[in-house]
């Protein structure tokens, strides 16, 4: 998966079912980067909740993933398979 990791990001965890990173950019910028990246990789957004933690569900074929974007040392990202 082609995720938007650049010099301003630090990967905290990366396994087959879970990805976590910290970004220096603000939450809105990071959210747009990840949502655009996932859509460009063929994932379809099926749900979103923009409360305290931004929460998005995506599907591609039989696969499902969840994206969470939250405030943590600027902006944290959690992407996990469901």
Chain segment 44-80, per-residue pLDDT in tens:
999 999 999 999 999 999 999 999 999 987 899 999 9
Signed CA dihedral, 32, 30, 8, 42: sign only: negative
Residues 6 or more apart whose CB falls under 8 angstroms from that of 44 comprise 58, 59, 60
Q: Strand locations in 5-73, DSSP E?
A: 9-14, 18-23, 44-50, 54-60, 63-70
- SS3 (DSSP) at 12: strand
Chain segment 4-54, per-residue pLDDT in tens:
887 788 999 999 999 999 999 999 999 999 999 999 999 999 999 999 999
Q: What's this model's pTM, rounded to 2 decimal places?
A: 0.91
């Amino acid at each position: 998966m082609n995720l938007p990791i650049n010099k301003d990001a630090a990967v905290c965890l990366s396994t087959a079912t879970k990805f976590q990173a910290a970004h220096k950019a603000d939450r809105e910028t990071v959210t747009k980067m990840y949502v655009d990246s996932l859509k460009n990789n063929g994932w379809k957004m099926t749900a979103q909740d923009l409360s305290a933690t931004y929460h998005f569900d995506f599907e591609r074929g039989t696969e499902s993933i969840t994206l969470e974007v939250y405030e943590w040392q600027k902006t944290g990202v959690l992407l996990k398979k469901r």
